[in-house]
Amino acid sequence: MAEEKLTQAAEATEARDAAQPAVVAQAGAATAAPSRRSLLAYAGAGLALGAAGAGGAAAMSGQGSGAMESAALAGAAVPFHGAHQAGIATPVQDRLHFAAFDVKTEDREELIQLLKDWTRAAERMTAGLTVGEGAVGGLPEAPPDDTGEALGLKPSRLTLTVGFGPSLFAKGRFGLEDKHPAALVDLELFPGDNLDPARSGGDLCVQACADDPQVAVHAIRQLARIGFGKTVVRWSQLGFGKTSSTTPEEQTPRNMMGFKDGTRNISGTDTAALDKHVWASAKDGSAWMAGGSYLVARRIRMNIETWDRTPLQEQEDIFGRDKGEGAPVGRARERDEPFLPAMKPEAHVRLAHPDTTGGAMILRRGYSFTDGTDGLGRLDAGLFFLAYQRDVHKGFIPIQRNLARADVLNEYIQHVGSAIFAIPPGVRDEDDWWGRTLFA
Ligand SMILES: C=CC1=C(C)c2cc3[nH]c(cc4nc(cc5[nH]c(cc1n2)c(C)c5CCC(=O)O)C(CCC(=O)O)=C4C)c(C)c3C=C
Ligand SMILES: [Fe+2]
């Protein structure tokens, strides 16, 4: 990209320079994100955005003093490059735009080019820059490369996380059948599932998380535009009010049922737990997935109106935790160890706990959603459940089998959308691209 264009981008987004706290690191990596201004300096010196991952300033990886620190960091940039994709173990942002895509091209080289183009655009957007030649200042006769609605907004900790669905590996499509990981199964239909095919599946996915919804929506929109003619959005979901966090030192968020959600989750700084339960290893059978993960996405509708008429004691019995503090039954504090025998046998927490599921562990990273009303005056609201794991056979599947069989919460919820994706390892530097290890 010509230096003058980067200067244009800098001018067009000048407002984002102001007061930009500049350090957010990927979990476990002592990295620093440069200020927007220094980023542009890097870019002008050869688009070395990878330098974001190699900076030397102090790191912040979710440790520290909670809400105020989060608020201060809300405008910062999260390094895009690393061994793992950002958006999994990195601190959870406030907003989500998740999109699943169908690939329309049948040409492997076109798909590879798409992934390369997406990677370059993602590098820029996560750094707070416009895509391509920007939103303004280009040829008046042509539509701008960037749609412009993020001009003047901060990077807002935008992370973009890409994934590949089972259908991408189908025989006769892109020659990937030999690379299909054993863990990337078509999920079984669980009892009670009422899945809408129009909200399920997908060849590709992109999870965009940011502290500003407009930044997340802008990012998905640019990737969809770049993919025009090669891929189309199959379904997408907006989310708010993160329901789980990867930063246990912060206040636990509440879900739409009013309960703290995410108390017992894998922490983004617990490298031992991440290696054991979240990151795929070459030893697992698919060498190209080393450093990646597997994502299960479920759109779970809540019968909010019925829930709202349920007595408090019953609500607390259903989860096995109290509503105010979030403490397990018979305990005083949220972080106290749950004592499962004190809970009702069919309480949600009891059935989801690793002691009841043969040790199954997942990293939850879901969001609440409210998509207006359903035409019958009921809120179309619920949980867009996102769970990362090393192997779905030791994560989502055993837990969901247990929950689908007996969870008393099932009276108030219904799974209406489902998808699974292999999340490849991170993009190492500016020469690397999403999916290189798969297509190599
Ligand atoms: C298959 C996995 C899970 C689904 C689907 C799921 C749906 C779901 N959960 C809540 C609310 C809460 N879940 C909580 C704990 C919890 N849930 C799961 C898994 C699934 N939940 C796990 C593994 C755990 C942790 C169990 C443990 O080790 O103790 C809690 C309690 C607080 C917490 O620890 O997070 C709440 C609240 C809803 C509303 C929901 C579907 C709409
Ligand atoms: Fe749960």
Backbone angles phi and psi of 290, in degrees to 5: -55, 125
ipTM above 0.90, yes or no: yes
Centre of ligand 2 from the C-alpha of residue 438, in Å: 33
Rounded CA separation 81/49 (Å): 9
Centre of ligand 2 from the C-alpha of residue 402, in Å: 12
Residue 384: beta bridge partners? Answer: 299, 367
Asked if residue 188 belongs to a domain, the reply is yes
Q: pLDDT tier at 208 (50, 70, 90 boundaries)? A: very high
More confident residue, 408 or 13: 408
Rounded CA separation 440/438 (Å): 6
User: Is the predicted pLDDT of residue 11 greater than 80, yes or no?
Assistant: no
**Residue 250 pLDDT:** 86
Rounded CA separation 58/422 (Å): 32
User: Is the predicted pLDDT of residue 41 greater than 60, yes or no?
Assistant: no
Centre of ligand 1 from the C-alpha of residue 319, in Å: 8
User: Is the predicted pLDDT of residue 52 greater than 60, yes or no?
Assistant: no
Asked if residue 348 belongs to a domain, the reply is no
Q: pLDDT tier at 186 (50, 70, 90 boundaries)? A: very high
Rounded CA separation 144/139 (Å): 8
Ligand nearest to the CA of 318: 1
Asked if residue 435 belongs to a domain, the reply is yes
Residue ranges around ligand 1 (CB below 6 Å):
255, 257, 259-264, 298, 300, 302, 319, 321, 338, 348-349, 352-354, 362, 382-383, 385, 396, 399-400, 403, 413
Compute CA 424 distance to the chain's CA centroid, rounded to the nearest angstrom. Answer: 13
Average pLDDT across the chain, whole number: 86
Asked if residue 394 belongs to a domain, the reply is no
Residue of the nearest CA to atom 18 in ligand 1?
352
Q: Give the list of residues 6+ apart from residue 209 with CB closer than 8 angstroms, or none.
A: 87, 92, 93, 95, 96, 157, 158, 159, 161, 216
Asked if residue 313 belongs to a domain, the reply is no
Asked if residue 376 belongs to a domain, the reply is no
Asked if residue 105 belongs to a domain, the reply is yes
Domain count, the chain: 1
Please compute the mean of the pLDDT values over residues 207-228 and round it to a whole number: 98
| pLDDT per residue as tens digits for the range 62-90 | 333 444 455 456 689 999 999 999 999 99
Backbone angles phi and psi of 335, in degrees to 5: -90, 5
Residue 231: beta bridge partners? Answer: 103
**Residue 73 pLDDT:** 61
Q: Which domain holds residue 242?
A: 3-299+421-439
**Residue 413 pLDDT:** 98
Interior CA angle at 183 toward 181 and 189, to 5°?
Answer: 125
| pLDDT per residue as tens digits for the range 148-175 | 999 999 999 999 999 999 999 999 999 9
**Which of 296, 220, 213, 244 is closest to 89 using CA atoms?**
244
Asked if residue 401 belongs to a domain, the reply is no
Element (H, E) at 220: helix 213-226
245 contacts 91 by C-beta, under 8 angstroms: yes
The number of C-alpha atoms within 13 Å of 129 and in the hemisphere containing its C-beta is: 31
Centre of ligand 1 from the C-alpha of residue 190, in Å: 17
User: Is the predicted pLDDT of residue 340 greater than 50, yes or no?
Assistant: yes
Please compute the mean of the pLDDT values over residues 83-111 and round it to a whole number: 98
